[in-house]
Structure 1
């Protein structure tokens, strides 16, 4: 569908890509990953035609259409309602509607057969384009990503940049391009909307490329991972978790190859040095010199996994109760956030506050902080020292300060060496610490503000969306830091990987009340799924069971059931053998895909990946067939018992 061949792209004298290759097939679900600054967003702009490559080419099929969601769309404004903006995805159908309306106006005075036939043709075409359902489709998508029904007629320009971005996402999803490219689509979505988009992308008919720092989102909606590193593109035939595992193995193989090659180079260099002056060995010496010159050098593996190795300290522990809310209420005019609700935060609680936008999560954080007026009572425990991190604090950083100066103003009393150690954990090394705050990116400012928050010696942290603007590496650093933190914290976040890593309690707002689940997010997900299942189950009065009478073994139905059972058991045995063979074949292909040398032959690597996907699909089908047979066998066994 789309092919990238020998792509090179330079910014000034710096190479982002050199002879990079990638083939995108219909229905591919690709996650584009790599450290910030490696060129992920640039690659999407090259594919869309916004940027031109320095060399190489991007070829696409004639019928390939591209839809691109990027951060530039934040500035898009319109006086139209958000529903009408989303409906622009159906331009051809809307044009037909305009023509039908015009023909109907003409028919008020013109009753000729020609105009009647024209109306019939237009209406047939309109119906073929599913024109009568486009409004319902647009409403479904807009509401799926978080808009309320009453918001759909409001002008786009009245919404914030993040909500406008949601409208543009809805429009793209409705357009259904052959290749859908999404650059950080979860940045402006709350958790229910993220999960809705995941489900939508799983069944999306076209190909998808996603750039995202949300690891759970990638795991749930991609089947191929492409890593941007070392100016090239490396394909991994699995989701993000598969990529992490596979990459680790490839790095070990590469490091072993590097060490073996280095040992061989040293031995060769010693031979050259030892026998360089001997005429009898001159041919051998020259042969080895040429061999070294021709050698393809294996690069040493650079470990980009940073471990947090400093201890968080605070001068005093808080009392058992950190903050207690007693019959608290909060409203903004007619908008009710909380009503007569009670909650308690105790020392050692690691709370994740989750839920849809508009429920009042950030308001609740401010109530807990004591900076929001309320009805009811808020009381703070003994020796509680708070530190509040929110996105507006990025702007509160002193722009003319160097990073090390800014850290020194945290009030922690740490020495410069200790501060440099902390900054090293947050990816600021060597001379980076002398950079001015004003030259930092949004992600770098977030890391500085977070580092300041964490070393402030506070024993109670309030963190509002701390993972915004952070890449994978930075999120993992923050998880490690909070896992080591011995105080209490509450965080608002939509990043499930982050929440799973740090929280021991889950809070959410429902019916204007603070609700608590006393466990991890993984446990909460299971509990919530069971709750939803019970709520949606239709309550039916159980029918009175009739007393089961014993069946005669000579009953024709029993005889037939025995025959059917034997047949099904034989089929089950055959499927189990086939599953065993397919699993063995899958293991062989996975071993081949783990070999780094495979990717030097693009055609062969593509064939192996296709074989792997084919075997995986067949294995999934056989497992489904096995489950169906087991169900049928169980039913027959129940009949015979």
Structure 2
């Protein structure tokens, strides 16, 4: 369907591709992976002809329709729903024809001819799914959780909301080939899982650029790895690719080692032949000739380049300098609303030293709001937030350098936070893959991944003991995600994080709290281990008062029902801890779990007193 052959491309004076070959065949599901800057998005722009080839060929099957989801959304005047309706432009032309013919049918002179023509146009409209337009828009809008955006002006939407609408429009167009550039970046977990199922059933070809390893595992059956301007093809999903690439690299390294041994032996043989030829009396021309012949063979030998077994990664280690108190963050009966809408409803949370808690929920459920309240960046409408003693917070928001001077140089921003000389700063930043004159770039020119790496470099040298993470993997390539995950594993402090990256959640967090209907439900276990409990929470109808009346209701009028619910939930948590303790043998882990159990028991006793009184 699409063939890119021997492509040569220069970007900013740097050769990106020298002789790149890549193809998309009918029905294929491909994951396009590689480091930030390897040329993945450029390859998509070459296919859509937004970028021109500097050499090589591009072949696209005649009449092929291509849907391209960009990282930067389209521009459009009108409502969000009208934007989605542009996916059915051909059907709209038929609809306009039908409306014109309906008017003509009212004219006795034109009625007969208009009636005949109307039947033909209506048949075309029906065959092409014209009467299903509303249902299709509703299906995709519900799946991607954008129903509430449909009546809003497109220009008023955020970049993330526009990206979701762009994805919805492309899915409605049902092109022969879908090119999706980071489609999960602005979706919550529920929408990501819906999109996975949609793409699995999609009849056309799909090529996806993504750093979301779980998403690729569920959606693709081929991986193309862009590295050093070349495309390597692998059968299977992302996990299979990682295994294959590791085996391939080890095999290549073995071949390289064997060839190096052979070269060493040949060089030694050539040296000895020359030595023997010179020592002979008279000098032996046959030995000289044999040495020369071996030299030519060595020159003609196709040398194997040393494979890069462990490519350069950012050197991130997070040291918790000085421990915090046992109670790190505490929220008691915290309520928060905006413009009459209740977001958080009497949330209780006790985050203790060394705990790793993931907060998961649908978009708009209040995850980022809760983080801002815990950080005391916002004030609750009711309830209290307490920060424990001796905490040093490292906060990593979704856009880590928002509000900074975009014209400031990277190195100057780094030195504002870390008091070091320019030479020391350059050395420290090199560990985060900022080399040479890269450190003098203006912040305005940094990519999302580079901004994240810069903030992590500052954290590493600030000695934080509480990490608060809001979608930290959004802009990081897989290698940088892996470094962050390894650093968190060895971090001795406390971590609370919001993420829709299931691989990251499962690897880094032992506890998961779900925000549903303004309430927080906390469970022991990773996302995969507790997902069923979330499903039950979202399936359960939540009976709530209207936003404005709920905000004004006093605690005394609703105490009985909410206290009983809290007791049931906490007793379930207590049972979960007992189950975990049965499987544990590590003394430190058992002590931590016992502490948590004691706190829960005390809390339940107090709730029983309140309930009975």
Same fold (TM over 0.5): yes
Deviates more, 1:305-314 or 1:354-363: 305-314
Would the alpha carbon gap of residues 439 and 112 (structure 1) be closer, same or farther in structure 2, given more than 3 Å must change? closer
- Distance in 2 between residues matched to 1:310 and 1:86, nearest whole Å: 43
**1:522 aligned residue:** 528
Deviation of residue 428 (structure 1)?
3.9
- Distance in 1 between residues matched to 2:293 and 2:271, nearest whole Å: 13
**2:174 aligned residue:** 176
TM-score scaled by length of structure 1: 0.77
Deviation of residue 472 (structure 1)?
0.7
**2:459 aligned residue:** 453
**1:358 aligned residue:** 364
Would the alpha carbon gap of residues 372 and 5 (structure 1) be closer, same or farther in structure 2, given more than 3 Å must change? same
Does the 8 Å contact 1:310/1:422 carry over to 2? no
Deviation of residue 153 (structure 1)?
2.1
Would the alpha carbon gap of residues 234 and 315 (structure 1) be closer, same or farther in structure 2, given more than 3 Å must change? closer
Q: Which of 489, 492, 495 is the matching residue for 1:486?
A: 492
Does the 8 Å contact 1:39/1:228 carry over to 2? yes
**2:347 aligned residue:** 341
Paired residues for 1:195-210 under 5 Å: 195-210=193-208
Q: 1:381 aligned to 2:379? A: no
Aligned alpha-carbon RMSD (Å): 2.7
Would the alpha carbon gap of residues 393 and 64 (structure 1) be closer, same or farther in structure 2, given more than 3 Å must change? closer
Deviation of residue 121 (structure 1)?
0.7
**2:189 aligned residue:** 191
Q: 1:216 aligned to 2:223? A: no
Q: Structure 1: which 5+ residue stretches go unaligned?
A: 536-641
- Distance in 2 between residues matched to 1:33 and 1:123, nearest whole Å: 45
- Distance in 2 between residues matched to 1:315 and 1:43, nearest whole Å: 44
Does the 8 Å contact 1:83/1:139 carry over to 2? no
Deviation of residue 159 (structure 1)?
0.9
- Distance in 1 between residues matched to 2:514 and 2:537, nearest whole Å: 14
Would the alpha carbon gap of residues 287 and 529 (structure 1) be closer, same or farther in structure 2, given more than 3 Å must change? farther
**1:117 aligned residue:** 116
Does the 8 Å contact 2:188/2:361 carry over to 1? yes
Does the 8 Å contact 1:397/1:449 carry over to 2? no
Deviates more, 1:255-264 or 1:219-228: 255-264
Deviates more, 1:256-265 or 1:437-446: 437-446
**2:233 aligned residue:** 235
Deviation of residue 156 (structure 1)?
1.2
Would the alpha carbon gap of residues 527 and 90 (structure 1) be closer, same or farther in structure 2, given more than 3 Å must change? same
Q: Deviations over 1:581-623 (max 9, x none)?
A: xxxxxxxxxxxxxxxxxxxxxxxxxxxxxxxxxxxxxxxxxxx
**SS of the residue 2:328 aligns to:** strand
Would the alpha carbon gap of residues 313 and 121 (structure 1) be closer, same or farther in structure 2, given more than 3 Å must change? closer
Would the alpha carbon gap of residues 405 and 159 (structure 1) be closer, same or farther in structure 2, given more than 3 Å must change? closer
Q: Structure 2: which 5+ residue stretches go unaligned?
A: 279-283, 542-613
Deviation of residue 268 (structure 1)?
2.4
Deviation of residue 119 (structure 1)?
0.8
Paired residues for 1:555-574 under 5 Å: none
Q: Deviations over 1:379-404 (max 9, x none)?
A: 22232332322245414556677656
Would the alpha carbon gap of residues 422 and 523 (structure 1) be closer, same or farther in structure 2, given more than 3 Å must change? farther
TM-score scaled by length of structure 2: 0.80
Deviation of residue 517 (structure 1)?
1.7
Would the alpha carbon gap of residues 369 and 260 (structure 1) be closer, same or farther in structure 2, given more than 3 Å must change? same
**2:253 aligned residue:** 255
Q: Deviations over 1:497-529 (max 9, x none)?
A: 111121111122112112212211221225445
Q: 1:504 aligned to 2:510? A: yes
